[in-house]
Amino acid sequence: MSYTIDQFGPSDLLSSKKLETRRIKVSEGDTCFYEGRQFYTFKEFDIPNNSSETIKVVAQGDTIVQQFGASLLIGGLRIELVVGGTEQSAFTGSLPTLQANNTSVAPDRAATVSFDNGGDHTGGDVVDLLLMDAGADRGNRQPTQSNATEDLLLGFAAGTFYIRLTNTGNEDCKGVFRARWEEL
């Protein structure tokens, strides 16, 4: 059953023009999920002591970062979201970009944000930072998991960004990096 409300109010109170997915604007997350504009990626990492790993992010359009963080099993980790700087070597590997809504009614849509790894990057301005410490592996194979995520929404125009994962501990740093975003 469907119905209409006459004189509902300004059109900017609705999150979309589509009848099947529009909502009254309360939260930016709901509509993008149902319209297939929400995506996520992840990367398992094992970073040696005194080392770092960089992920290059290329956004072709405006993007709202909804989740940015990691689950850390062993070691200490500094996660920086960086703009600018200099690429020192080519980024040759790719991370998966997956649609968050894979239901049968969700539109099939390709992501316009890509994640590549395998290269090096220096400098730039840090626009977000997370620090984590899960402790050392004491040989008992039962490290304490540590989770951190940025819960504040961050909006970015099209551009290139870098995510630096730096081992801050005295041994290998092991865990999973995750990001979730909405494409406008």
Give residue-wise pLDDT tens across range 30-82: 688 888 999 999 999 999 999 999 999 999 999 999 888 888 888 889 999 99
Determine, yes or no, domain membership for 32. no
Q: Tell me whether strands 52-59 and 154-156 are parallel, antiparallel or unpaired.
A: unpaired
The CATH code of the domain that includes 61 is: 2.60.120
pTM of the model: 0.81
As for how many domains the chain has, the answer is 1
Determine, yes or no, domain membership for 74. yes
- How far apart are alpha carbons 162 and 179 in whole angstroms? 13
Determine, yes or no, domain membership for 102. yes
Determine, yes or no, domain membership for 12. no
Structural domain boundaries, residue 90: 40-183
DSSP string, 123-172: --EEEEEEEEEEE---SSS-PPPEEEE--S-EEE-SEEEEEEEEE-SSS-
Determine, yes or no, domain membership for 5. no
- Residues 156-182 have a mean pLDDT of 93
Determine, yes or no, domain membership for 33. no
- How far apart are alpha carbons 125 and 155 in whole angstroms? 16
Q: Which of 55-64, 140-149, 152-161 has the lowest mean pLDDT?
A: 140-149
Determine, yes or no, domain membership for 161. yes
